Structure 1
Amino acid sequence: MVIYTRDAEADRVFFRDVLGLAHVDAGHGWLIFKAPPAEFAFHPAEGEPSHELMLMCDDVETTMAELGEQGVEFTRPLTEARWGRVTGFRLPGGGEIGLYEPRHPRAHDV
């Protein structure tokens, strides 16, 4: 997975220091991060298809509080969807990542 951004250094610092993801230094300013467990879901699209990156958590309210204490800007209110509780937050480089607490069975549980 590659995330394109207006400020790669700021986003690297965010993933390293705020999200606390393990990483390796690949040299020349590149930090390669170990991704948390991931799942892929495919949904029908109206119009041009797009992709969305969302991080899963066990308790979205607790995670929001922890990130908020570190100055993370949430871009949308916590909403209830039939598949989970969802919000989103801004990356320093201008991008947005979703955050959700799933209500569906998790692929990592199989």
Structure 2
Amino acid sequence: MITGTHAILYSTDAEADRAFLRDVLGFPNVDAGAGWLIFRLPPAELGVHPADAHVERPADAAPAAELYLMCDDLDATLADLAAKGVRPAGERVEARWGVRAFLPLPSGATLGLYEPRHPVATDL
């Protein structure tokens, strides 16, 4: 029986990114040993999109996965994060299905932040 999902972020500065998730985003965590923190995330859902629908990737790129944290109010969440010194990487993007932004991680990677404007599976 499947009991959950374990997502992995690969990082060039894992310690700094772990500290960001723990201290800035406030995710509870357990130490799996030697400082390897495993974070409890909010409820999740999984969407499956056609590979050719992702316009931000080269046409010949292999299919990929993306990770977005969901919020009820993107602007309010971005304001809360700004009070902690976090500014989005790039512009806030409006679409028919929702609005998103990207958070810069200390390693230089980004983490998606998304306010859906469609029914969500986390309400099931």
Is TM more than 0.5 here? yes
Between the aligned partners of 1:109 and 1:56, the Cα distance in structure 2 is: 12
Deviating 4+ runs (over 2 angstroms):
none
Q: CA deviation at 1:68?
A: 1.2
Between the aligned partners of 2:99 and 2:67, the Cα distance in structure 1 is: 15
Aligned to 1:15: 21
SS at match of 1:74: coil
- 1:5-56 Cα distance to aligned partner (Å, 9 max, x none): 0101001100000000010112211111011111110111133211111010
TM normalised by structure 1 equals: 0.94
Structure possessing the higher radius of gyration over alpha carbons: 2
Q: Which has the higher strand share?
A: 1
Larger RCO, structures 1/2 (Cα 8 Å, 6+ apart): 1
Q: Is 1:85 aligned to 2:99, yes or no? A: yes
Q: Is 1:73 aligned to 2:78, yes or no? A: no
Q: CA deviation at 1:73?
A: 3.1
Between the aligned partners of 1:3 and 1:85, the Cα distance in structure 2 is: 22
Q: List aligned pairs for 1:1-110, cutoff 5 A.
A: 1-46=7-52, 47=60, 48-110=62-124
TM normalised by structure 2 equals: 0.84
Q: CA deviation at 1:89?
A: 1.2
Consecutive unaligned residues in structure 2, runs of 5 or more: 1-6, 53-59
Consecutive unaligned residues in structure 1, runs of 5 or more: none
Q: Is the 8 A contact 2:78 2:87 kept in 1?
A: no
Q: CA deviation at 1:76?
A: 2.0
Between the aligned partners of 2:32 and 2:49, the Cα distance in structure 1 is: 34
- Paired-residue identity, %: 55
